[in-house]
Amino acid sequence: MEGHTVKSYDVELQELDRRIAQMGGLVEKILAEASEALQRRDPRLGAIAIAQDAGIDRLERQLQERAVNMLARRQPMADDLRHVMIVLKIAGDLERIGDLAKNIAKRANAISEESHPKPLMIGFRHMTELAMRQLKDVLDAFSVRDAELALAIWRSDAKLDTLFNSVFRELLTYMMEDPRQIGLCTHLLFGAKNIERIGDHTTNIAENVYYLVTGQVLGGDRPKRDDTSGVWALPPASD
Amino acid sequence: MKAETILDWPTLSRTRPIRGRLVDAGLRRLAGRGAALVAGGLLTGLFLMVGQLDWSVALAGLCGLAGWAALWPAAAGADGGPVKIAAGRAADAPAATAEAADRSATWRAMLAGLADASIVMDGEGMVIAANAAARDWFPASSGRHISQLTRSPELLTAVDRALATGRAQACRTRMVVPVERQVAGLITPLARPPHADGVPVLLLVLRDLTEQERLARMRADFVANASHELRTPLASLKGFVETLQGAAKDDPAARERFLDIMQQQAARMSRLIDDLLSLSRIEMREHVPPQSVIELGGIVAETCRALEPLAREARTSLSFASPTGRMMVLGDRDELLQLGQNLIQNAIKYGKPDGHVSVGLHKQGNRIALSVADDGIGISPEHLPRLTERFYRVSAKDSRERGGTGLGLAIVKHIVNRHNGELNIVSRTAEGSTFTVLLPSLADPGEIEQPLS
Cα–Cα–Cα angle for A166, A167, A173, rounded to 5 degrees: 90
Torsional sign, CA A96, A101, A102, A104: positive
Q: Do B298 and B444 have their domain in common?
A: yes
- Contact criterion met (CB < 8 Å) for B156 and A25: yes
Which residues 128-157 of A have a C-beta within 8 angstroms of B?
129, 132-133, 136, 139, 143-144
Yes or no: say if A19 and A59 are a contact pair by the CB < 8 Å rule: yes
User: Domain range for residue A162?
Assistant: 9-226
Q: Do B221 and B257 have their domain in common?
A: yes
> Can you tell me the distance from the alpha carbon of B258 to that of B248, in angstroms, rounded to the nearest whole number?
9
Q: Do B314 and B452 have their domain in common?
A: yes
Picking from B123, B125, B153, the nearest residue to A26 by CB comes out as B153
* Nearest to B316, CA basis, from B355, B373, B374, B346: B355
Q: Closest residue of B to A56, CA-based?
A: B153
Q: What is the ipTM of this complex?
A: 0.84
Domain boundary among B181, B208, B235: B208
A114: number of Cβ within 10 Å? 13
Torsional sign, CA A212, A213, A217, A218: negative
pLDDT value, residue A1: 42
Q: Do B302 and B278 have their domain in common?
A: no
Q: Do B190 and B240 have their domain in common?
A: no
| Domain count of the fold of chain A | 1
CATH of the domain at A154: 1.20.58.220
* Nearest to A135, CA basis, from A166, A93, A103, A188: A93
B372 DSSP 8-state letter: E
- Contact criterion met (CB < 8 Å) for A25 and B151: yes
CATH of the domain at B120: 3.30.450.20
- Contact criterion met (CB < 8 Å) for B151 and A22: yes
Task: Please report whether residue B1 resides in a domain.
Answer: no
- Contact criterion met (CB < 8 Å) for B147 and A22: yes
| Domain count of the fold of chain B | 3
Q: Do B279 and B135 have their domain in common?
A: no
CATH of the domain at B300: 3.30.565.10
Q: Do B328 and B380 have their domain in common?
A: yes
pLDDT tens string A171-194: 899 899 988 888 888 988 999 999
Mutate to test the interface with A, among B177, B182, B197, B217 (most CBs of A within 10 A): B177
Task: Please report whether residue A232 resides in a domain.
Answer: no
> Can you tell me the distance from the alpha carbon of A11 to that of A131, in angstroms, rounded to the nearest whole number?
32
Q: What percent of chain A has pLDDT over 90?
A: 51
pTM, rounded to two decimals: 0.64
Q: Do B313 and B191 have their domain in common?
A: no
Q: Do B294 and B324 have their domain in common?
A: yes
Q: What is chain A's mean pLDDT, rounded?
A: 86
Q: Do B312 and B258 have their domain in common?
A: no
Is B148 within 8 Å of chain A by CB?
Answer: yes
Task: Please report whether residue B164 resides in a domain.
Answer: yes
Is A28 within 8 Å of chain B by CB?
Answer: yes
Q: Do B418 and B292 have their domain in common?
A: yes
- Contact criterion met (CB < 8 Å) for B147 and A129: no
- Contact criterion met (CB < 8 Å) for A22 and B156: yes
- Contact criterion met (CB < 8 Å) for B151 and A132: no
Task: Please report whether residue B82 resides in a domain.
Answer: no
> Can you tell me the distance from the alpha carbon of A89 to that of B422, in angstroms, rounded to the nearest whole number?
58
User: Domain range for residue B251?
Assistant: 213-285
Task: Please report whether residue A123 resides in a domain.
Answer: yes
Residues of A in contact with B185 (CB under 8 A): none
- Contact criterion met (CB < 8 Å) for A129 and B177: yes
Task: Please report whether residue B424 resides in a domain.
Answer: yes
Per-residue pLDDT of chain B (453 residues; tens, 9 = 90+): 333 333 333 433 344 444 444 445 555 666 666 666 777 677 767 766 766 657 777 677 777 776 666 666 544 444 433 333 444 444 556 777 888 788 888 989 999 999 999 999 998 899 999 999 999 888 888 789 999 999 999 999 999 999 999 999 999 999 876 678 899 999 999 987 777 777 888 999 999 998 888 889 888 988 998 998 899 899 999 999 998 888 878 888 888 999 999 999 999 999 999 999 999 899 888 888 899 999 999 999 999 999 999 999 889 999 998 888 889 999 999 999 999 999 999 999 888 888 999 999 999 989 999 999 999 888 888 888 888 888 888 877 777 777 788 899 999 999 999 999 999 999 998 889 999 999 999 876 554 444 554
Q: Do B327 and B428 have their domain in common?
A: yes
> Can you tell me the distance from the alpha carbon of A72 to that of A61, in angstroms, rounded to the nearest whole number?
16
Is B386 within 8 Å of chain A by CB?
Answer: no
